[in-house]
């Protein structure tokens, strides 16, 4: 699919992987609607790329529906892609040091990462399926963000790994579900990337982390994630799978 002239929704587009993706797709001529809980950051990126920003709690289905409707109303083109990058990485062991279960953390992470991705995907598909097919027959594409942690979850990442594992597991059944509508679904499972969260770590911690990455032995560049998103959108035969983007790293237990 040539995304030029079409609308793309990017969640979590105010920073990190989402911001890089928003910039990359805008450079390809897409109209970009950024959904983010942090309106200041989202607004700054939207202004930079000529897109629009919407303050959205992706875990709130009604709010997502309203935001998608508003983005469609504001758009100059039809919605052809949704890229889910919004997420949180709250960590906690199953039982805290005080002896209490971390059920609240688990529920919060699942709500934002997994349910939030589903909400935006579902409302996006509802709009895409009404469109006429493009040349080549497809109507749209969904790109979700999993994580290498869905296979290599570390200590304290039960909630995060479960949420990202759920996103990876969605790819095939959703692709099969949407095949009749000619809409694809693919997930990317990034490894260790240079995001604000990683950049906040002490240098010695970053050095220890990158020592486990075979090649290239460095943190991933968000632009590399964005390039993968762009390729998925353009390559019509990519569907129903989860792609690890991680420099061949496998995360240690902790």
Residue 54 to residue 9: CA distance in whole angstroms: 10
Return the sign of the alpha-carbon dihedral for residues 182, 226, 205, 92: negative
Please confirm, yes or no, whether 160 is among the known catalytic residues.
yes
* Contact predicate 133/116, CB 8 Å: no
The CB-based long-range contact list for 172-181 (8 Å cut-off, 24+ gap) reads 172/240, 172/241, 174/121, 174/142, 174/240, 175/239, 175/240, 176/240, 178/125, 178/129, 178/142, 181/125, 181/128, 181/129, 181/139
Of 35, 37, 106, 160, which one is the catalytic site residue? 160
> Both tokens of residue 92?
């906690």
Q: Name 167's Cβ contacts closer than 8 Å, sequence gap at least 6.
A: 84, 113, 114, 117, 144, 145, 146, 150, 187
Q: Catalytic positions, please?
A: 160
């Amino acid at each position: 699919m040539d995304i030029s002239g079409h609308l793309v929704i990017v969640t979590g587009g105010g920073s990190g992987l989402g911001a890089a993706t928003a910039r990359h797709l805008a450079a390809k001529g897409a109209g970009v609607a950024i959904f983010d809980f942090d309106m200041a950051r989202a607004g700054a990126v939207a202004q930079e790329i000529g897109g629009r920003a919407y303050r959205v709690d992706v875990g709130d289905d009604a709010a997502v529906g309203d935001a998608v409707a508003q983005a469609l109303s504001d758009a100059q083109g039809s919605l052809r892609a949704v890229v889910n990058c919004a997420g949180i990485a709250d960590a906690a062991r199953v039982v805290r040091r005080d002896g209490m279960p971390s059920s609240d953390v688990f529920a919060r992470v699942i709500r934002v990462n997994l349910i939030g991705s589903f909400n935006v995907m579902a409302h996006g598909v509802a709009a895409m399926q009404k469109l006429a097919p493009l040349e080549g027959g497809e109507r749209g594409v969904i790109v979700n963000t999993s994580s290498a942690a869905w296979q290599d979850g570390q200590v304290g990442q039960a909630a995060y790994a479960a949420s990202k594992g759920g996103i990876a597991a969605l790819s095939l059944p959703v692709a099969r579900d949407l095949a009749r509508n000619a809409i694809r679904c693919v997930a990317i499972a990034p490894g260790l990337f240079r995001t604000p969260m990683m950049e906040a770590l002490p240098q010695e911690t970053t050095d220890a982390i990158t020592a486990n990455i075979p090649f290239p032995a460095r943190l991933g560049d968000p632009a590399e994630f964005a390039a993968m998103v762009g390729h998925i959108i353009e390559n019509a035969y990519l569907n129903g799978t989860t792609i690890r983007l991680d420099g061949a790293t496998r995360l240690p237990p902790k």
